[in-house]
Amino acid sequence: MSGLIIETRALTKTFGKIVVVKDINLRVPKRAIYGFLGPNGAGKSTTIRMLLDLIKPTGGEVYIFDKDISKHRMEILGKVGSLVESPSYYANLTAYENLEISRRILKVDKKEIDKALEIVNLSKWKNTKVKAFSMGMKQRLGIAQALIGSRELLILDEPTNGLDPAGVREIRNLITSLPKVLGVTVYISSHILSEVEQIADYVGIIRSGELLFQGTLDELRARTGSEIVIRATPLDEAQDFIRRMGLEVTKREGKLCVPEGKISPEELNRALVFNGFRVSHLTESTKNLEEIFLELTGGGSDAGLLPTSKQ
């Protein structure tokens, strides 16, 4: 056993001459929350469809639970729940009745319905018709459908799309609880970077079909390092002085940013003050996931200018 729930080997998908996914090697550990990040059109949904065997890869292999999905499809998918794009439900049926349909298809015990409703906090509305549900409640019902039965892996494609801040918070809290409550592994695709930063143990960053990074958030932050952020007067002269010291420096939002490593904050502050600059602000800053993503992908419109949720 490899300890990985999902492993892909040189996974590739082309449509005609267009390469949508190129030679990606995913490594998703057991009982982790793995955030798969990238702008719209990066290849996230195509990758998910290959993981679920909804479309066939042009090249490469998909292993789930250490088994090749092309050879053990039904065995694997029986332990995988998914929510791709938006949940599927019958609006004129109750939450319980919708899950009963899923239960009959999967041929599992009736107690699985109440268990799933409890996990997603919809027990009080089990007999309410879904047409009366908020968007967030519908998303939670979709996750309940994905959890029916003995699921070991949950694959969620943009589960917070279209939700208000309260709905985003509900889904975030729910996803965070799943590995602890059920022991499941969660693979979540998203372009909302701040959401993934709050819940994921591991991240993979994809752009134009290529996997740019894969690892823990700490590994990602360590790769870019911290920086010293300074506000000094006069600013342009301070920037020139720091460059003459042989240090990299960029101006951002009225402050100067110097990568840590070659000089400590104390040494830089002392040098500036000693040479007549008035330093009114100096901090050490670690970049958030959005800043690191934009740096990795080149930033600007080419990276998609990914939106974030601030809730």
Domain ranges of the chain: 4-221, 226-286
How many C-beta atoms surround the C-beta of residue 60 within 10 A? 17
List pLDDT tens digits, range 189-216: 988 777 888 899 999 999 999 999 999 9
* Residue 177: pLDDT over 70: yes
List pLDDT tens digits, range 211-220: 999 999 888 8
Angle, alpha carbons 11-216-290 (nearest 5°): 90
Non-local CB neighbours of 226 within 8 Å, separated by 6+ positions? 259, 260, 284, 285, 286, 287
List pLDDT tens digits, range 60-76: 999 999 999 999 999 99
Q: What percent of the chain has pLDDT over 90?
A: 71
Amino acid in position 155 = I
Question: Is the Cβ–Cβ distance between 145 and 102 less than 8 Å?
Answer: yes
Own/partner contacts of 43-46, CB < 8 Å, gap of 24 or more, are 43/13, 43/206, 43/208, 43/209, 44/157, 44/189, 44/191, 44/206, 45/84, 45/85, 45/157, 45/189, 46/13, 46/20, 46/21
Q: What six digits make up the tokens of 13?
A: 């998908």
Q: What average pLDDT does this structure show over 92-103?
A: 96
Identical fold, 4-221 and 226-286: no
Q: What average pLDDT does this structure show over 284-292?
A: 74
Q: What's the confidence (pLDDT) of residue 289?
A: 67
Q: What's the confidence (pLDDT) of residue 1?
A: 52
Q: What CATH number is given for 226-286 in this structure?
A: 3.30.70
* Residue 307: pLDDT over 80: no
- Residue labelled with tokens 């968007």: 135
Q: What's the confidence (pLDDT) of residue 308?
A: 44
Q: What's the confidence (pLDDT) of residue 305?
A: 37
Instruction: Decide: helix, strand or coil at residue 123.
Output: helix
**Greater confidence, 297 or 85?**
85
Q: What's the confidence (pLDDT) of residue 297?
A: 65
* Residue 309: pLDDT over 60: no
Helices (H), 148-233: 165-182, 193-199, 217-224
Q: How confident is the model at residue 131 (pLDDT cuts 50, 70, 90)?
A: very high
* Range of lowest pLDDT (32-41, 43-52, 228-237): 32-41
Q: Whole-prediction pTM value?
A: 0.80
**Greater confidence, 196 or 91?**
91
Fold held by 4-221: Rossmann fold (3.40.50)
**Greater confidence, 126 or 300?**
126
Q: What six digits make up the tokens of 276?
A: 């007549």
Q: What average pLDDT does this structure show over 261-286?
A: 93
* Residue 36: pLDDT over 50: yes
Non-local CB neighbours of 161 within 8 Å, separated by 6+ positions? 86
